[in-house]
Structure 1
Amino acid sequence: SGAGLVLTSPDGWTLEYALRFIFKTTNNEAEWEALIAGLTIAKHLEIQKIEAFSDSQLVVGLANGEYEAREDSMAKYLSYFQSLKSAFEVLRVLKVPRAENARADQLSKLGTAEELEKNKTVIVDYLDVPTIFEVDVMDIDIPQEPIWMTPFINWLRNGILPEDPAEARKLVYRSNRFQLRDGILYKRSFSFPWLRCLTPFEVDYALKKVHEGICGNHTRGRTLSHKLLRQGYFWPTMYQDAIDLVRKCDKC
């Protein structure tokens, strides 16, 4: 199954996306995935005013506060949507007849290699699990011994640099891609939003939590690490750690 979305600027610039789901989804869940994907892209492009169109009466009604979410999945999608709203100065979600949503409907059906070959300008994204699949990172008391984040936090919070001049210069340069917010370290990413940096004590939990959700697909380490990025997490050895975990999994 899949979903499609078309982003159009006031001056006619268009971006087309085809989402392919590696999981079972209802029509309304697919509509939510398309809406959230479009808003996430718009957020990355720093768009402030946006009108979003959907042919799902339920999704539009929930987004506008006209309906109450009665299913757990709809409540989670609504919560995710509301967390994105603050990124925009103006956000309107409007109902559009299915007949006027034809191109998005066509994109949702793209799947074969032949179809994709004919639509080379279309960006295709494969989702292993729903956007609302969450990793709840545990609240853990971090020991005082240094961890990989310590130099970044010392510099960004207290202005403390390593004594070695070469290491100090390297840290200042690398810190341009990090930010400290409310005591939490984040890393800037080119393809994803700000990534929450995990401590070694959180890494094991996050790896197992995400892996348990997708190992039925016999995934590879690269897919697992990519999924962790999509969930908004980062640590320096995540790719190798993901490979090691998959190698130990009998189902994979």
Structure 2
Amino acid sequence: MTYGRSIKLFFDGGCRPNPGAIECAVVRKGIAHYLHDLGTGTNSDAEWLAAIHALEVAAQNGDRDITLLGDSTLVVTQANGSARCRSEPLEAHRARFAEIAVGFDRVRIRYIGRTQNLAGIALAKLHAR
């Protein structure tokens, strides 16, 4: 199988306070896709829901070869299988992520710093400090 150019999707999730109300953002080709009011949970839940939303955005756009970029070491290592999920809720998120990822030709997930995460920047703009 030959691969085309991988589409980059930035993802970030947050909650206010922690635990608290969850929201997330995905940036694909410069366009931010937000989800608000995702219930109550921790920052780890929010990050996982953002990674899952990134897969959904990619699928909606017909992407087949994707690279997900996020600033959650926990989610990146658990999604890559180099760390195990230490709670049932996180394992449920990982399983949902894996279930959706099967529908793509190639999915890579990589860690990037907070200041490079376009989705995190988009979320921060929603909340003036």
TM-score with structure 2 setting the length = 0.74
> CA RMSD of the aligned region, Å?
1.7
The answer to whether structure 1 residue 105 and structure 2 residue 120 are counterparts is yes
Residues in 2 aligned to 1:18 and 1:107: alpha-carbon distance in whole angstroms: 9
Residues in 1 aligned to 2:98 and 2:52: alpha-carbon distance in whole angstroms: 10
Matches within 5 A, 1:16-31: 16-31=32-47
> SS at the partner of 2:41?
coil
Who is 2:19 aligned against? none
Where do 5+ consecutive residues of structure 2 fail to align?
1-14, 16-22
Residues in 2 aligned to 1:22 and 1:88: alpha-carbon distance in whole angstroms: 25
Who is 2:104 aligned against? 88
Q: CA deviation at 1:42?
A: 0.9
> SS at the partner of 1:52?
strand
Deviates more, 1:38-47 or 1:90-99: 38-47
Who is 2:27 aligned against? 6
Distance 1:94 1:23, change over 3 A: same
Where do 5+ consecutive residues of structure 1 fail to align?
9-13, 113-252
Highest Rg: 1 or 2?
A: 1
**Count of aligned pairs between the two proteins:** 106
Q: CA offsets, 1:45-86, max 9 Å, x none?
A: 221100001100110001000011111111000000010111
> SS at the partner of 1:47?
coil
Greater fraction of residues in strand: 2
Residues in 2 aligned to 1:60 and 1:22: alpha-carbon distance in whole angstroms: 21
Who is 1:195 aligned against? none
Higher relative contact order (CA 8 A, sep 6+): 2
Q: CA offsets, 1:18-68, max 9 Å, x none?
A: 221252221111111111111112112221100001100110001000011
Please point out which of 63, 72, 79 is paired with 2:79.
Answer: 63
Whether the 8 Å CA contact 2:69–2:109 is kept in 1: the answer is yes
Residues in 1 aligned to 2:104 and 2:79: alpha-carbon distance in whole angstroms: 14
TM-score with structure 1 setting the length = 0.40
Percent same amino acid at aligned positions? 26
Distance 1:51 1:85, change over 3 A: same
Please point out which of 69, 73, 94 is paired with 1:53.
Answer: 69
Matches within 5 A, 1:1-252: 1=15, 2-8=23-29, 14-101=30-117, 103-109=118-124, 110=126
Who is 1:186 aligned against? none
Q: CA offsets, 1:154-206, max 9 Å, x none?
A: xxxxxxxxxxxxxxxxxxxxxxxxxxxxxxxxxxxxxxxxxxxxxxxxxxxxx
Distance 1:62 1:25, change over 3 A: same
Q: What one-letter code is carried by the residue in structure 1 that aligns with 2:27?
A: V
Q: What one-letter code is carried by the residue in structure 1 that aligns with 2:109?
A: V
> SS at the partner of 2:35?
strand
